[in-house]
Amino acid sequence: MKYDFTSIIDRRGKDATAVDAAGKRVWGFEPGAPMDGFDFIPMWVADMNFKTCPAITEAIIRRAQHPLFGYFQPKDVYYDSIIRWQEERNHVTGLSRENIGYENGVHGFISSAIDVLTQPGDKIFLHRPYYVGFIGDIIGKGRRPVYSDLKKDEHGFWRMDYEDMERQIRKNHVRLAIFCSPHNPCGRVWTREEIEKAMDVFQKNDCLVISDEIWSDLTYTGHSHVPTQMVSDWAREHVLAAYAPSKTFNLAGLIGSYHIIYNQALNEKITRFSENTHYNEMNVFSEHALIAAYSSEGQEWTDELRSVLEDNCRTAVDFMKEHFEGVDVSMPEGTYMLFLDCTDFCRRTGRTIDQVLRAGWNVGVGWQTGRAFGGECHIRVNLALPKARLMEALERMRKYVFTNEETAAYTYEATKAEPDKGAVEATTNHASVNTRAIKNTISETSQADRIMNVDSGADEMGQAKAADKTTDATGGTDESVQNREAAGSDADPEDFTADWIYNEEGLLMVSDDRNRDLTVEAVKKLLGDHPVEECHLAAFVNGDIVGNRDMQEAQNYGRILQNSGLTITELFTEEECVKLRQIGIF
């Protein structure tokens, strides 16, 4: 090959979260640090361990040699480079400079679009599994996510369920969706037909679409990216697309994305909003980096990169299928991520997904919890690293993690001896609940597993307790509730640990470690001087919103209230408030 994808580069101390965050808390889903005797192999956050395209480095150095860095406006060649890249790589037609807008990252664009197109408390649609950043974008703006699950077919390919999509959109009165194409973390490169069907659903329900297409350059043999805006006239006018060179060329640290919006009115609204923040300004180096990336040399480098990544993915999938019994994995069609389903492995071995994660971290396999991405018993694995490091990581997984041999014993024992509280927190969400929310002092991995894998029909004790707690139309509680409140009124909040259970109506409530319901008085103690009516009790949410699997959303409900400025009665519907009152929340 002409370019270098084999050198192993020491990134420690060189502005690399992928390496320097191991064992620390930055976003909330970082891998743990390895045990002595093992070096750390970064396989989590979505950047690559390859040198970037030489043309980019040369362009930045060339610009840095000019000693002035004042205010500037993007050059014509910046826009021309984007248009040429989109035309040649994605077969886009009719794209002009007026349709393109600079963005300080895809997240900045999504956040701006959410602000412009929705109101606090609104619901936003996305598929699950999802990219964890979408949840932060939605929750951080005081909105609520609504999911439709992708489903695996008989060949192991993730598919959209169009009927369920429409059902969820109609049921929740959704007017904005976030679409990921190609899909992270599942690795699907949606076909034109699939995208057309999805857009038909959104069109039928008058739902605007944000399409994150940051992975569009990284597709594999037999699969080509189809820009969402190109599948229909409706999509061209109602889809807001986000792109960036950062994933393709490993430029996340430079910051520099862009949107494509053909609808003039929508484009003006988004652009005006982002400009008014005065934060959405281009960095001069990111301008020169994009121009160099979207050059003929950048095209050549990208083609070689795709070949390397596809080989890495094929090697890893074949290795895992041969050696990792009980792990469900499929060859991705694009991206450089694998999404391992460890359900059967955990069931067969009796190990929890947290133990599997920690076993890998102990031996330097820096992979990432899949729960943050909506996968109950999944692990996300980044394969954008030199082949030699990939093979080393796979061998460590085989020898120390996905095995019943004695070599695995000490790694699993380490998970029992020192539970990873950070990992438990990460499985709920990278943006943790406000500290005034219920204090979760979970101290055992097994208890964390109950929290994250709870099922609405599994906790008979919780159902029995819930059935025992009723309220009449005037708000009066029965004798058992009054007795429990009397007992709880003198309870020290520090004595309580949080556990999440479902009652027969699908409502979530909190139980302490002595299997007694936390009473309203105990909740007040836990909240301190914070008003109950403005509480951040994430778990007290109607089951129609949270669902049996949405523990991450439940934990984040406090963020919705906090950032929207709404009280519970303002946020929930009248019917939902009735159910909340029935279990004595307010």
pLDDT tens series, the chain, 586 aa:
999 999 999 999 999 999 999 998 888 778 999 999 999 999 999 999 999 999 999 999 999 999 999 999 999 999 999 999 999 999 999 999 999 999 999 999 999 999 999 999 899 999 999 999 999 899 889 899 999 999 999 888 999 999 999 999 999 999 999 999 999 999 999 999 999 999 999 999 999 999 999 999 999 999 999 999 999 999 999 999 999 999 999 999 999 999 999 999 999 999 999 889 888 999 999 999 999 999 999 999 999 999 999 999 999 999 999 999 999 999 999 999 999 999 999 999 999 998 999 999 999 999 999 988 999 899 999 999 999 999 999 999 999 999 876 666 456 656 554 434 333 333 333 222 222 222 222 222 222 232 222 233 333 333 333 333 333 323 333 333 333 333 333 334 344 333 333 333 333 333 333 333 334 444 444 444 443 333 333 333 333 233 223 334 444 444 443 444 444 444 445 555 555 454 444 4
Domain finish residue from 418, 447, 468: 418
**Residue 575 within any structural domain of the chain:** yes
Q: How many folded domains does the chain comprise? A: 3
Residues 314 and 355 reside in one and the same domain? yes
What DSSP string describes 548-581? TT-HHHHHHHHHHHHHH---HHHHS-HHHHHHHH
H-helix or E-strand spanning residue 260? strand 257-260
Residues 350 and 222 reside in one and the same domain? no
Can you tell me which residue has the tokens 């439709």?
148
For residue 493, with 0-12 CB atoms within 10 Å meaning exposed, 13-18 middle and 19 or more buried, which class applies? middle
pLDDT for the residue 545 = 30
pLDDT for the residue 497 = 38
pLDDT for the residue 108 = 93
Buried b (16+ CB within 10 A) or exposed e, 329-361: bbbbbbbbbbbbbbbebbeebebbbbbbbbbbb
Q: What is the CATH number of the domain that holds 399?
A: 3.90.1150.10
What DSSP string describes 196-213? HHHHHHHHHTT-EEEEE-
d(CA 134, CA 197): 22
Region of residue 79 (left: phi > 0; alpha: psi -120 to 50; beta: else): alpha
**Residue 299 within any structural domain of the chain:** no
Domain finish residue from 349, 383, 418: 418
pLDDT for the residue 411 = 63
Residues 376 and 438 reside in one and the same domain? no
User: Which residues lie closer than 8 Å to 39 by C-beta, 6 or more apart?
Assistant: 364
Residues 200 and 331 reside in one and the same domain? no
Residues 376 and 460 reside in one and the same domain? no
Q: What is the CATH number of the domain that holds 269?
A: 3.40.640.10
**Upstream peptide bond of 386 is cis (omega within 30 degrees of 0):** no
Residues 97 and 149 reside in one and the same domain? yes
Sheet with 239-243, edge to edge strand ranges = 100-103, 257-260, 239-243, 208-212, 176-180, 123-128, 144-149
Nearest Cα neighbor of 90 from 214, 239, 266 is 214
Residue 229 domain boundaries: 89-280
**Residue 303 within any structural domain of the chain:** no
Residues 438 and 393 reside in one and the same domain? no
79 in Cβ contact with 416 (< 8 Å): no
**Residue 76 within any structural domain of the chain:** no
Residues 270 and 326 reside in one and the same domain? no
Residues 451 and 578 reside in one and the same domain? yes
**Residue 12 within any structural domain of the chain:** no
Residues 460 and 509 reside in one and the same domain? yes
**Residue 74 within any structural domain of the chain:** no
Can you tell me which residue has the tokens 């439940």?
554
17 in Cβ contact with 45 (< 8 Å): yes
Beta bridge partners of 477: 471
**Residue 124 within any structural domain of the chain:** yes
d(CA 523, CA 313): 49
Residues 395 and 358 reside in one and the same domain? yes
pLDDT for the residue 306 = 98
**Residue 502 within any structural domain of the chain:** yes
Residues 252 and 352 reside in one and the same domain? no
